[in-house]
Amino acid sequence: MTSKEEKERRKALVRAQQEQEREKVEAEADKRLPFPRNSLLPLFKYIDEGWDEYGCDHTPRRAIGYLNKIGLPDDQQGAVLAWLRDQGGACDCEILANVVERWVDDYNPEEWNFEGV
């Protein structure tokens, strides 16, 4: 029979390995981001804050509005919009439904402290 201390040691090893894997996945995902990760949350919030007034017209209108607001050049905007589409966000409602879910819930939600969506 395995001792309690040995079970705890094994659990700690598994947790450490899971944490390393999570960090590796996040680092790989960050490499594919077309702009800094900390820019995603303001983008998501901007889309969400205009939701009651604008809703979704099946375009990324609010996302584009945010990218214009922060002064992102057109070529970088294209890269961001392409990345959002690749993440399942071809329009504002899909960004809120698919991209937020993936990037907020799966990637360290404590870091985001996101309550808007």
Q: For residue range 18-29, what is the model confidence (pLDDT) as tens digits?
A: 888 877 766 776
Give the whole-angstrom CA distance, residue 94 versus residue 48: 12
Q: Which two tokens stand for residue 10?
A: 């094994």
Low-confidence residues of the chain, pLDDT below 70? Answer: 1, 25-26, 29-30, 105-117
* Per-residue pLDDT at 1: 64
**In this predicted structure, what is the pLDDT of residue 92?**
95
* 110-113, long-range: CB < 8 A, 24+ apart: 112/41
Q: Where do we find the tokens 């002064």?
A: 71
Q: What count of other Cβ atoms lies within 10 Å of the Cβ of residue 42?
A: 12
